[in-house]
């Protein structure tokens, strides 16, 4: 039997008896729908999948109850579920939606397996922010349907005993007299108390169940105390829409608030990091070597094809810089060639053309525009057919070169008969840079060179979060500069530092206004007129210790362009010294 919800709005409850078959049909129907929906949800991607426990949904209709039932059981079935998911995936989908996540639980499990000391592992993600997890009920709605699939596929007897007791109490009909599994009903007229009670029961059950991971309890308790959100009661048809917005809403992302700064590990400087890295021996070096040898055998072919009017582009995972470098040293020693580091942050087409005109063609004149320069180069190369030039471009798809104009110019260069271009690309969407016209200019031959080597050189211009950001430099320069100053000036600067540190939590802090600063300095007997202060400030400014900015009201604001950590360090040091 099953109580059906007739009208959701006015909280009227009507109990009616339904045969077992009907119940089964009902479930099967839903299941069919659910499967489709689930697939859609996967396409829509991801936030809601971050929340792995859909069972906090406190909806009060029958479906809700069903979910309550399998709440416990779901927890024990993570792995199985994910396996099931895995089998349902298809290839193309996987390749083209890179964001797609198929095995949420399994990866977590695998990761914790990998960790030899299974610390908080993934759970820390969930545990850390109770105020975020409260949002879960809304997010998890999409999962209600899929839960039923699990219910269906499950060994039902297993969780009969673990069904919420509060629910059972509320039901007039004793549950155990029937051996059918899904005859629970929910009453719509629950009061908050009842829900709370139910939730408590729920959590009790959770504790009883051995399969539950510890963190789930922590999350579930505060959630259940929440009043059931009425929002949940919506038509099934709107589910898809909801899912969409759930998937794309940014607010409900579970984030961990742990930061690198809280790590008690000191940051490394670039040198130490390099040293540490060099000690790591890459795994599979034999296989990698084999791969590289394979590619090296192509060198002659590349030369041949370059000479026959094709240009070569290399793609695939891993840095291709070493490979190209080897190509350069083995094949190009006797030819004029230009190596262009696309990853170099200051690279531009202009600089490429300049190096061709000035260094290759020994032309000392200047050009009015890049296009003029290009024309000149093209003419020059057309005139002198004996001239040959190899262009090696690492990362043709880099930020600086990927622009339409740059690509057009490089393409035009490469279309010349006696300029040979061999380039590498790394970005996933790099081929989108080229339309038909450019592609025919480039006349590419594609070669896949997956090397798995690290992008060490390519990323050397980027900053790693784990490396101390030039922090040592300002600190030492700060101390050096300040040591050369008079005690008064030092005091002035310290005042500014303190003020800035006091305001470090204020996101709208724009600096200390000159007037206030002058006032403070006077009070501390550091200056006697604003002229002296200005003179001091000029000195600071010359050493790049402060920056001044005009506020919206026209007042001058003073700011130290050094991060707060360094400033704190500096203050500490100062205090030690004096």
Partner 1 sequence: MATSSVSKGCFVFKPDFKKRKISVPIEDYFNKGKNESEDSKLRFETYQLIWQQMKSETERLQEELNKNLFDSLIEFLQKSHSGFQKNSRDWGCQIKLREIPTAALVLGVNVTDHDLTFRSLTEVLQNNVTPYVVSLQAKDCPDMKHFLQKLASQLMDCNVDVQSKEKESVQVTQKKIHYSMDSLSTWYMSVTQKTDVKMPRKKRTPPSQWQSPPVVLILKDMESFTTKVLQDFIIISSQHLHEFPLILIFGIATSPVVVHRMLPHAVSSLLCIELFQSLSCKEHLTTVLDKLLLTTQFPFKLSEKVLQVLTNIFLYHDFSIQNFIKGLQLSLLEHFYSQPLSVLCCNLPEAKRRINFLSDNQCENIRRLPSFRRYVEKQASEKQVALLTNERFLKEETQSLLENLHVYHTNYFLVLRCLHQFTSSLPKYPLGRQIRELYCTCLEKNIRDSEEYASALQLLRMLAKDELMAMLQKCFKVFKSSSEKQLGNTAKRIEEFLAQFQSLDAEAKEEEEDTSESQSKGLQKTDLYHLQKSLLEMKELRRASKRQTKFEVLREQLVSFIDSLAREYLLLPETQPLHEVLYFSAAHTLRQHLNAAPRIALHTALNNPYYYLKNEALRSEEGCIPNVAPDICIAYKLHLECSRLINLVDWSELSNIPLYICATSSLSIHPMMDT
> Is residue 202 within 8 Å of residue 220, measured between CB atoms?
yes
Partnered with residue 4 across adjacent β-strands are 14
Q: In angstroms, what is the minimal distance from the CB of 295 to partner 1?
A: 11
For residue 296, what are its two tokens?
């090296």
Q: In angstroms, what is the minimal distance from the CB of 476 to partner 1?
A: 20
Q: In angstroms, what is the minimal distance from the CB of 258 to partner 1?
A: 4
Q: In angstroms, what is the minimal distance from the CB of 46 to partner 1?
A: 6
User: What is the residue whose two structure tokens read 């039923």?
Assistant: 148
Which of 208/277 has CB closer to partner 1? 277
> Is residue 171 within 8 Å of residue 198, measured between CB atoms?
no
CA distances from 503 to 130, 512, 537, 552 (A): 28, 10, 20, 19
Q: In angstroms, what is the minimal distance from the CB of 141 to partner 1?
A: 19
Which of 251/506 has CB closer to partner 1? 251
DSSP annotation string for 250-288: STT-------GGGSSSPPBPHHHHHHHHHHPPPTTHHHH
User: Phi, psi (5° rounding) for residue 458?
Assistant: -65, -35
Which of 12/115 has CB closer to partner 1? 115
User: What is the C-alpha separation between 339 and 337, in angstroms, rounded?
Assistant: 7
Q: In angstroms, what is the minimal distance from the CB of 387 to partner 1?
A: 10
Give the burial string for 390-410 (b: 16+ CB within 10 Å, else e).
Answer: bbbbbbbbbebbbeeebbbbb
Q: In angstroms, what is the minimal distance from the CB of 28 to partner 1?
A: 28
User: What is the residue whose two structure tokens read 């531009």?
Assistant: 348
Q: In angstroms, what is the minimal distance from the CB of 459 to partner 1?
A: 4
> Is residue 442 within 8 Å of residue 421, measured between CB atoms?
yes
Which of 47/185 has CB closer to partner 1? 47
Which of 171/410 has CB closer to partner 1? 410
Q: In angstroms, what is the minimal distance from the CB of 555 to partner 1?
A: 36
Q: Which long-range contacts (CB under 8 A, 24 or more apart) does 365-373 make?
A: 370/405, 370/409, 371/409
Which of 187/395 has CB closer to partner 1? 395
The Cβ of residue 188 has, within 10 Å, a number of other Cβ atoms equal to 20
Which of 208/304 has CB closer to partner 1? 304
Which of 237/285 has CB closer to partner 1? 285
Q: In angstroms, what is the minimal distance from the CB of 133 to partner 1?
A: 15
Partnered with residue 421 across adjacent β-strands are 391
Angle (CA) 66-71-77 rounded to 5° is 120
CA-based nearest residue to 69, from 188, 156, 8: 156
Which of 115/208 has CB closer to partner 1? 115
Report the half-sphere exposure of 147 (CA within 13 A, side-chain side).
26
DSSP annotation string for 404-448: HHHHHHHHHHHTSTTEEEEEE--STTGGGG--HHHHHHHTEEEEE
Q: In angstroms, what is the minimal distance from the CB of 224 to partner 1?
A: 25
The Cβ of residue 73 has, within 10 Å, a number of other Cβ atoms equal to 22
SS (H, E, C) 8-22: CCCCCCEEECCCHHH
CA-based nearest residue to 53, from 156, 125, 152, 157: 125
Q: In angstroms, what is the minimal distance from the CB of 239 to partner 1?
A: 22
Q: In angstroms, what is the minimal distance from the CB of 73 to partner 1?
A: 24
Q: In angstroms, what is the minimal distance from the CB of 131 to partner 1?
A: 16
User: What is the residue whose two structure tokens read 């490396």?
Assistant: 467
Which of 95/214 has CB closer to partner 1? 95
Q: In angstroms, what is the minimal distance from the CB of 381 to partner 1?
A: 15
Q: Which are the contacts of 3, defined by CB distance < 8 A and separation ≥ 6?
A: 13, 14, 15, 16, 62, 185, 186, 187
Which of 390/493 has CB closer to partner 1? 390
The dihedral region occupied by 100, where left means phi > 0, alpha psi between -120 and 50, and beta the remainder, is beta
CA distances from 70 to 29, 54, 106, 155 (A): 18, 10, 20, 11
Which of 2/377 has CB closer to partner 1? 377
Which of 90/577 has CB closer to partner 1? 90
> Is residue 573 within 8 Å of residue 479, measured between CB atoms?
yes
Which of 410/497 has CB closer to partner 1? 410
Which of 2/392 has CB closer to partner 1? 392
The Cβ of residue 342 has, within 10 Å, a number of other Cβ atoms equal to 23
């Amino acid at each position: 039997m099953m109580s059906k919800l007739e009208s959701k709005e006015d909280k009227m409850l009507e109990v009616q008896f339904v045969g077992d078959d009907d119940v089964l049909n009902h479930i099967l129907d839903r299941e069919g729908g659910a499967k489709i929906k689930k697939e859609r949800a996967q396409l829509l991607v991801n936030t809601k999948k971050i929340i792995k426990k859909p069972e906090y949904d406190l909806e009060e209709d029958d479906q809700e109850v069903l979910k309550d039932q399998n709440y416990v059981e779901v927890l024990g079935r993570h792995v199985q579920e994910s396996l099931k998911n895995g089998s349902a995936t298809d290839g193309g989908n996987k390749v083209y939606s890179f964001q797609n996540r198929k095995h949420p639980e399994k990866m977590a499990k695998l990761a914790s397996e990998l960790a030899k000391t299974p610390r908080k592992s993934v759970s820390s993600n969930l545990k850390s922010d109770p105020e975020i997890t409260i949002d879960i009920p809304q997010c998890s709605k999409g999962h209600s349907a899929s839960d039923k699939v699990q219910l269906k596929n499950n060994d039902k007897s297993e969780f009969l005993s673990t069904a919420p007791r509060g629910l059972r109490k509320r039901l007039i009909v004793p549950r155990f007299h029937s051996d059918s599994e899904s005859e629970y009903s929910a009453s719509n007229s629950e009061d908050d108390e009842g829900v709370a009670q139910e939730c408590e029961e729920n959590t009790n059950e959770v504790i009883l169940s051995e399969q539950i991971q510890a963190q789930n309890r922590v999350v579930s308790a505060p959630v259940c105390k929440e009043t059931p959100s009425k929002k949940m009661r919506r038509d099934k048809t709107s589910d898809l829409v909801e899912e969409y917005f759930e998937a794309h809403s940014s607010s409900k992302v579970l984030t961990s608030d742990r930061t690198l700064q809280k790590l008690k590990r000191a940051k490394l400087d670039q040198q130490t990091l390099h040293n540490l890295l060099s000690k790591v021996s890459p795994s599979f070096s034999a296989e990698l070597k084999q791969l590289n040898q394979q590619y090296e055998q192509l060198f002659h072919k590349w030369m041949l094809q370059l000479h026959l009017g094709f240009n070569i582009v290399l793609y695939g995972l891993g840095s291709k810089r070493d490979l190209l470098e080897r190509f350069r040293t083995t094949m190009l020693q006797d030819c004029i060639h230009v190596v262009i580091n696309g990853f170099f942050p200051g690279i531009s087409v202009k600089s490429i053309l300049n190096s061709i005109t000035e260094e290759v063609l020994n032309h000392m004149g200047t050009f009015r525009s890049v296009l003029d320069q290009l024309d000149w180069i093209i003419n020059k190369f057309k005139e002198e057919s004996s001239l040959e030039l190899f262009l090696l471009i690492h990362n043709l798809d880099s930020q600086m070169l990927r622009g339409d104009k740059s690509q057009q110019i490089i393409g035009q260069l490469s279309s010349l008969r006696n300029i040979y271009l061999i380039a590498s690309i790394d970005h996933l969407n790099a081929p989108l840079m080229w339309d038909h016209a450019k592609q025919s200019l480039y006349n590419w031959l594609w070669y896949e060179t997956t090397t798995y080597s690290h992008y060490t050189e390519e990323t050397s211009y980027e900053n790693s979060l784990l490396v101390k950001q030039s922090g040592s430099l300002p600190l030492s320069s700060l101390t050096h500069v300040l040591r050369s100053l008079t005690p008064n000036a030092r005091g002035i600067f310290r005042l500014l530092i303190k003020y800035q540190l006091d305001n470090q939590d204020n996101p709208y802090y724009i600096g200390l206004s000159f007037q206030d600063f002058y006032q403070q300095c006077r009070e501390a007997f550091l200056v006697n007129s604003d002229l002296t202060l200005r003179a001091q400030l000029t000195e600071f400014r010359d050493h790049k210790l402060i920056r001044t900015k005009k506020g919206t009201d026209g007042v001058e604001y003073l700011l130290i362009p050094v991060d707060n950590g360094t400033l704190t360090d500096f203050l500490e040091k100062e205090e030690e010294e004096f």
